[in-house]
Amino acid sequence: MMEKEISFAWYRLRGLGLLCLCSFVFFFGAYLANQRTMAVNGVINGQTMPVDCVQGRDSALALSFDVTQGSGSIEAILNILEKYETKATFFVTAGWAAAHPEETKRIVGEGHDIGSRGSDRESMTGKPSKEVRQILEETSDTVYGLTGVRMKLFRAPYGEYNSALLGIAASEGYLPVRWSVDSEDWKDYGTESIINKVTQDEQLGAGAIVRMHGGARNTAQALEAIIEDLLRQGYVLAPVSQLLRQETA
């Protein structure tokens, strides 16, 4: 199914020297300590905007994976990340975590970020507030029951947010995250297409967040070449939470 990509006009802000929206999170350490109040530069009309990329002080960027189906590719992806001693960020649904408990535990056990993906393929912007809250809480409770970790990051399906969804996510203790570089692995154009799209994207740079999919056909095959190319370019690969900590340091 073709991926819907909807970008609001206010997502097109440009960070200093970066061709993507950079949300500057100043007190993320307090946020990770379960504080519900965040001071965020990247607020419009009182509304916290999703993080597309993070302007840090070094050459770190984040690989992230939306995980909603299958497990074989996730195992291969985790093996490659382990080989290169690289940490990434995984956004999962309640259904996937419940169906794949060992992979969920492995994600956390090997030091990767784990965040909520909300629902599977349905946008959450048109859902009633009660249903949205139920989805977020079910995902949180499922992952917590398996890993003992309360998730702090949330990526909405298709990266679609509205003020209601952002407000509910904040009230549930989540920081909303999008991406600045899309691998477009969901288009199924092949391994080379994924490699080139990530490593040659004009928005690739320090603080970038790269989006891939755990269930896409060629992602695992492309990942090793992507990591090697990014390392050759001088990037440090880190999970999203580490980018945020570096930005606030």
Beta bridge partners of 211: 64, 182
Flag whether pLDDT at 242 surpasses 80.
yes
Alpha-carbon distance of 1 to 60, in angstroms, equals 32
Which range of residues forms the domain containing residue 86? 9-248
Q: 10: which DSSP letter?
A: G
Confirm whether 1 is domain-assigned: no
Candidate from 69-73, 76-80, 92-96, 124-128 with smallest mean pLDDT: 69-73
Per-residue pLDDT averaged across 78-96, rounded?
97
Is residue 3, in this structure, part of any structural domain at all? no
Q: With 60 as the cut, is the pLDDT of residue 249 above it?
A: no
Summary mean pLDDT of the chain: 84
- The yes-or-no verdict on residue 67 having pLDDT over 80 is yes
Residue 21 lies in a domain: yes
Burial category of 108 from C-beta neighbours within 10 Å (exposed 0-12, middle 13-18, buried 19 and up): middle
Please give the single-letter amino acid code of residue 195: I
- Rounded Cα distance, 188 and 138, in Å: 31
The whole-number pLDDT of residue 47 equals 62
Residue 69 lies in a domain: yes
pLDDT at 106 over 50: yes
Cα–Cα distance between 212 and 194 in angstroms, integer? 9
Who has greater pLDDT, 92 or 27?
92
Looking at residue 187, the DSSP 8-state letter turns out to be G
Query: How far apart are the C-alpha atoms of 245 and 60, rounded to whole Å?
Result: 11
pLDDT of 213 reads 95
- Residue 138 resides in a domain: yes
CATH of the domain at 200: 3.20.20.370
Q: Answer whether residue 7 shows pLDDT above 50.
A: no
**pLDDT at residue 20 is higher than 90:** no
The per-residue pLDDT for 122 is 87
pLDDT digits (tens, 9 = 90+) for 131-145: 999 999 999 999 999
Query: Is residue 214 situated within a structural domain?
Result: yes
> 4 in a domain, yes or no?
no
Is 206 contained in some domain? yes
152: which 2 tokens? 């702090």
Q: Average the pLDDT over 69-97 and give the result.
A: 94
**What's the number of domains the chain is made of?**
1
Please determine, for residue 107, whether its predicted confidence score (pLDDT) is greater than 70.
yes
CB 246 within 8 A of CB 99: no
Predicted confidence at residue 11, as pLDDT, reads 38
Structure confidence by residue, pLDDT tens digits, 144-178: 999 999 999 999 999 999 999 999 999 999 999 99
Q: What is the pTM of this model?
A: 0.84
Model pLDDT, residue 44:
56
